[in-house]
Amino acid sequence: MEADTRARWGAVLTLVVGALASFAGACGGDMGGRPGGSYANNGGRPQCGALGVACVGQKLDAPIALGGTFELDVRYQIAGSSGPPTTIFSAAPSVLRVDGARLTAVGQGVSAVLFLGPDDGVLDFLHLWVQPATELRIIRYTPAGAPLGRVQPAIKLLVHDELLIAVEPFANGQPLAGNFELTRTLQGTSVAIVPDSVSGWYRVVARTPGTTQVRLGALGLSTDWSIEVEP
Amino acid sequence: MTDPTRTLLRAAGAALTLLGATTAGCVTELPPRIELYPISSAPPARTFEVFNRDDKHSIVVPIGVAFGVTTSERCTRPDAAKPQLRAPEPGLSIADASILDARALTRTQGRHEWVLFGVKPGRTTVTLKGECATQVYEVDVVSGR
C-alpha cells in the first residue's frame, strides 16, 4: 500500500526546493559565500527528500557553514494545483533556526528541515548538516560567473586590471554552503575592492602602481591577500 | 470393498476433519497488536532504530534526525476480518514533545503515517492507539550517533 501511495504521489507531486544565496541586494551589507550563479551552473545531481517525493532543484551539496545563513526557495509542480502555502520547520532549532525561508546555522550537527503544507502536514523533509569552517578561500570567477579557481595569496596585476572574486568557506578541504557577513581591511590604495551588484561577488580593480595588503574576515576566520599593481 | 471397511474409512475421515477444525481454531487466536514501521532512511553517519519485540517496544533516534513511520494493526474481533473500505485511523501521542516531536504526513491526511524527529536529548514515550490495540514505545533521543 505504501509503495503504491508513494509512487502515485511521486508522479503527481514534484517539490523543487532551491537553495539560493541571498546576497547584497537582499541583505544590504557586505556578504561572503558561494555566489548564487554557481548553484545554478554547477551541474550536479539534485538531492531528493527522504520520502522520495521532493527534490532539490539546485545543488544542496555541502554542509552549511556554522554561523552562516541559507535561503530556501521552495517550488512545487503538482498536477491540477499551484504550489500550496508552505511553512519551513526545523527539527532541531539548536542546529538550524528558521525565520521564514531563511535558515541560520547555529550549532554543529544535522537537522531535518520539514516542509509543512496548509494542514500542517509534512510534504517531505531533508536533512541538512552544519559544519564549522576551518578556512576561507578566495575564488576567482569569469565575468559570466563560472569559477576559475583559487586565487594565490600573493598576486600581481596591471593598472586597470579587474578581477571578479568571492570569499568562500571550507572545512577540511570541503566547500561549505551559506552566506555570512564579510569584513575587509585594506592597507594601501593601489586597488579598490567593491561588492558586485549581484550575488556574493566582489570586484577587485587595480588603480595605481603599488602594493596593497588585504585582510578578509568572516565566521571567526581571516585570510590575507597581497596584491602588487605594476604600471 | 466390504461394509466394515467403508465404515472404518468414514470414521477416520470424520476424525481427521474434527482434528483439523480444532487445530485451525487454536491458530487464529492471536492477540490484537499495533506497531510502527519506518518508511524512510537516516542521513549519512546517523542511525535510528525502531524495536518491535514482544518484550519491548522502543525507539532510539539522534537529535535532528527525522524519519517517516507507518502503522500495522492486527485485530481479532469478528467484524475486523470483514473487508474495510477505509484505512483504520490510529492516533499517536507523545508524552514530551520537547524531546521527540511528530507531524502527520500530508499524503495520507494523517491517518496512519507520521514523521518523527528528535528535538533534544532525553527520554519520553510514544503511545500508538488503534481500533483494537494500544502500544507504548519508550523513546531515547540521543545527542548524536
Q: How many structural domains are present in chain A?
A: 2
Helix (H) or strand (E) holding A7: helix A2-12
Last residue of a domain, one of A73, A96, A131: A131
Task: Kindly report, residue by residue over A100-111, the tens digit of the pLDDT.
Answer: 888 999 999 999
Clarify whether residues A39 and A124 are in a common domain: yes
Interface contact B64-A120, CB threshold 8 A: no
Find the closest chain B residue to A9 by CA distance: B107
In Å, how far is B63's CA from the nearest CA of chain A? 7
Residue B130 CB: number of other CB atoms within 10 A? Answer: 21
Burial per residue of A205-229, b for 16 or more beta-carbon CB atoms within 10 angstroms, e otherwise: bbeeebebebebbbbebebebebbb
Last residue of a domain, one of A98, A131, A164: A131
Q: Please provide the DSSP assignment of A58-89 as one string.
A: S---SPEETT-EEEEEEEEEETTBPPPP-EEE
- For residues A44 and A217, the model is more confident at A217
- Stretch A155-181: mean pLDDT: 94
In Å, how far is B31's CA from the nearest CA of chain A? 23
Clarify whether residues A202 and A224 are in a common domain: yes
Clarify whether residues A166 and A186 are in a common domain: yes
Clarify whether residues A54 and A120 are in a common domain: yes
Find the closest chain B residue to A111 by CA distance: B64
Which pLDDT does position A227 carry in this prediction?
97
Clarify whether residues A9 and A119 are in a common domain: yes
Clarify whether residues A116 and A141 are in a common domain: no
Interface contact B107-A109, CB threshold 8 A: no
Clarify whether residues A221 and A142 are in a common domain: yes
d(CA A207, CA A185): 17
In Å, how far is B1's CA from the nearest CA of chain A? 55
d(CA A19, CA B15): 73
Task: Kindly report, residue by residue over A62-89, the tens digit of the pLDDT.
Answer: 899 999 998 887 766 666 777 788 899 9
* CATH code for position A55: 2.60.40.1080
Clarify whether residues A103 and A7 are in a common domain: yes
Provide the residue range defining the domain that includes A213. 135-230
Interface contact A50-B119, CB threshold 8 A: no
Interface contact B110-A121, CB threshold 8 A: yes
Measured between beta carbons, which residues in chain B are less than 8 angstroms from residue A51? 39-40, 68, 105
Average pLDDT, chain B: 79
* CATH code for position A154: 2.60.40.10
Interface contact B105-A121, CB threshold 8 A: yes
Measured between beta carbons, which residues in chain B are less than 8 angstroms from residue A63? none
- Residue located via cell numbers 552566506: A179
Interface contact A110-B68, CB threshold 8 A: no
User: Which three cell numbers mark B114?
Assistant: 507520521
With a cut of 60, say whether residue B28 has pLDDT above it.
no
In Å, how far is B40's CA from the nearest CA of chain A? 6
In Å, how far is B118's CA from the nearest CA of chain A? 7
Clarify whether residues A100 and A6 are in a common domain: yes
DSSP state of A102: E
**What is the ipTM score, two decimals?**
0.74
Ramachandran sector of residue B9 (left: φ over 0; alpha: ψ -120 to 50; beta: rest): alpha
Q: How confident is the model at residue A174 (pLDDT cuts 50, 70, 90)?
A: very high
Which pLDDT does position A108 carry in this prediction?
95
Clarify whether residues A20 and A125 are in a common domain: yes
Find the closest chain B residue to A53 by CA distance: B107
Clarify whether residues A111 and A54 are in a common domain: yes
d(CA A80, CA A84): 11
Q: Which of A91, A94, A129 sits opposite B66 (nearest CB)?
A: A91
Clarify whether residues A34 and A103 are in a common domain: yes
Task: Kindly report, residue by residue over A178-230, the tens digit of the pLDDT.
Answer: 889 999 999 999 999 999 886 688 999 999 999 999 999 999 999 999 999 99
Measured between beta carbons, which residues in chain B are less than 8 angstroms from residue A9? 107
Q: Are residues A218 and A229 in contact, defined by beta-carbon separation less than 8 angstroms?
A: no
- For residues A110 and A117, the model is more confident at A110
